[in-house]
Amino acid sequence: MATKEDIRSSRRLQRRTLAPEQILAAGEAIAQHGVAWAETISPGPAATYAVYVGVAFEPPTLPLIEALHKAGHRVLLPVCEPGRQLSWVYWTPATLFVRSAYAPIDEPEGERLESSVIAAIAGIFMPATAVDRDGNRIGQGGGYYDRLLQGLDASGQRPPTIAVVYDDDLLPSGSIPAEAFDRPVREVLTPSGVVRLDDTAGTV
């Protein structure tokens, strides 16, 4: 079995072959399917979702963020903190971004909320480099989201969680080695739709 780093490197190389128009189309499709998923789990017409800003060759998520906002939902974006912890800032179209002190990304400015806020939201859109059909996920290697999910799982307050990848990043069962600290996902959001890993024939 390939190591996580081998898989991460391979997927990153594959993503770099995508043309700008393919990336743009992926972002638009992810927004459409992501809002549909959000509305299936929303406790009401105005719910809160945790999202992230896809950068470089990651699946674009800004169209999803904007679509959720347009639909009347609130969006929390992550900020990297010491000890591989995350805090969260509410996004609006006026939100400004600054370079992170801990990761090669831009992060939102604004009041930072502790991760305990995530326990009460409607759902989490998570970054991933790859996911296999067992639900094992490879992130960017920082471990921020595994720590977040570990805390939510321990408290029994984990909201519905979906990993965002390109279609080719969904790998066959057994492709990704699982470690004790890993937290699997049960749904994956791709440009082609939502894949439920407990029923991989179903997409929306």
- Residue ranges at the known binding site for ATP: 4-8, 137-145
The owner of tokens 């996911």 is: 131
Binding residues for substrate are 53, 58
Query: What gap in Å lies between CA 147 and CA 143, rounded to an integer?
Result: 6
Q: Is 132 helix (H, G, I), strand (E, B) or coil?
A: strand
- Determine how many CB atoms are found less than 10 A away from the CB of residue 84: 15
Binding residues are 4-8, 53, 58, 137-145
The owner of tokens 């594959």 is: 14
Residues in CB range of 40: below 8 A, 6 or more apart: 204
* 141 phi, psi to nearest 5 deg: 105, -5
Question: Count H helices, E strands: the chain?
Answer: 4, 12
C-alpha separations of 179 from 53, 144, 170 in Å = 26, 15, 19
